[in-house]
Structure 1
Amino acid sequence: MSLVRWEPLREINALQRQMNRLFDDVMSPLSRYEDGNFTFFPPVELNETADAVHLKLETPGMEPKDLDVQVTAEAVSISGERKTETKTEENGVTRSEFRYGKFQRMIPLPARIDNQSVQAEYKDGILRLTLPKVEEEKNKVVKVNLG
């Protein structure tokens, strides 16, 4: 039997790599394999101005008919399904790639909005929503008591 030198730092580094891999798999913002299906999580950007909330969602390779957008006064729900296939043939070899996946995102809004006046634009795989605030939110002033 031979003696093996114990190096605790090596074991800590290995544990840290395993934990990082675990969090990368679970917290990946773009995709996850769940219940035998590929789930896609498109990135979202949310900006608030004095009059409106602006939402931008990246869905490359999707058509507007593949998206379902529902807006309430407090949140936006966006779901869709990606179906992308590419086929190339060169020198008698056919190469085929495909990506399928469903997604659903519920995005809470920082202010109440007028969901009857939402404007949407979809161009080059980017969905842009302009969500106007209700009048009470636009004129909201909070008095702060000092002492």
Structure 2
Amino acid sequence: MATWDVFKELDSLRRELDDAFSGAGFGRPFGPTFLSPVTARRFPLVNFSEDEGNFYVEAMVPGVDAKEIELSVLRNTLTISGERKPFAERRGQIVHRSELGSGRFSRTIELPVDIDPDRITANYKDGIMLVTMAKAEHAKPKKIDLIVS
């Protein structure tokens, strides 16, 4: 069974808040972000879940070519990075609103236990990427039979 580390979660939250407020008060309210000025949310947005044998990360990456997405695993972290191409303005076109961000992005997700790096799959369809990662055998719960004497 995976254990939940409240201090690890609080540290992760602190880092996210530090990133969101970096540069505040130095002539700019916030530094440039992938989705600015719309929001300073992390990109891509993800759902993270697990069952007895696997972790699942579902990431929304609309408008990003699958060839532009890079996945890497190191110990118990998954990193999703890539690049969304800028909006292509046409000659003579007047842009009234441009809210779709562009540029490089990177999102790292810490997993609560080790995974088996040889048993990872990733599928991409309609702007949604699903990464399935098998838990390492030593990280899976073991059933212990009780011997009655």
Cα gap change, 1:101/1:124 in structure 2, threshold over 3 Å: closer, same or farther? same
Q: What's 2:34 paired with?
A: 39
Q: TM-score, normalised by structure 1?
A: 0.62
Question: Which of residues 79, 82, 88 is equivalent to 2:81?
Answer: 79
Q: Secondary structure at the match of 2:63?
A: coil
Q: What's 1:133 paired with?
A: 135
Deviation, 1:103, is 1.2
- Answer whether contact 2:86 2:103 (CA < 8 A) is retained: no
CA distance in 2, matches of 1:88, 1:95: 9
Q: Secondary structure at the match of 2:118?
A: coil
Higher strand share goes to which structure?
Answer: 1
Q: What's 1:114 paired with?
A: 116
CA distance in 2, matches of 1:79, 1:38: 14
CA RMSD of aligned residues (A): 2.8
Consecutive unaligned residues of structure 1, counting only runs of 5 or more, are: 1-22, 28-32, 143-147
Cα gap change, 1:124/1:133 in structure 2, threshold over 3 Å: closer, same or farther? same
- Answer whether contact 2:34 2:101 (CA < 8 A) is retained: no
Deviation, 1:87, is 4.6
Deviation, 1:83, is 0.8
Q: Secondary structure at the match of 1:65?
A: helix
Cα gap change, 1:47/1:120 in structure 2, threshold over 3 Å: closer, same or farther? same
Equivalenced residue count is: 109
Aligned partner of 1:46: which letter? F
Q: What's 1:4 paired with?
A: none
Deviation, 1:102, is 1.6
C-alpha deviations, 1:48-94, integer Å up to 9, x for none?
100100001111100111111101230101111111425568xxx52
Aligned partner of 1:43: which letter? L
% identity of equivalent residues: 31
Bigger RCO of structures 1 and 2 (CA < 8 A, at least 6 apart): 2
Q: What's 1:64 paired with?
A: 66
CA distance in 1, matches of 2:56, 2:77: 12
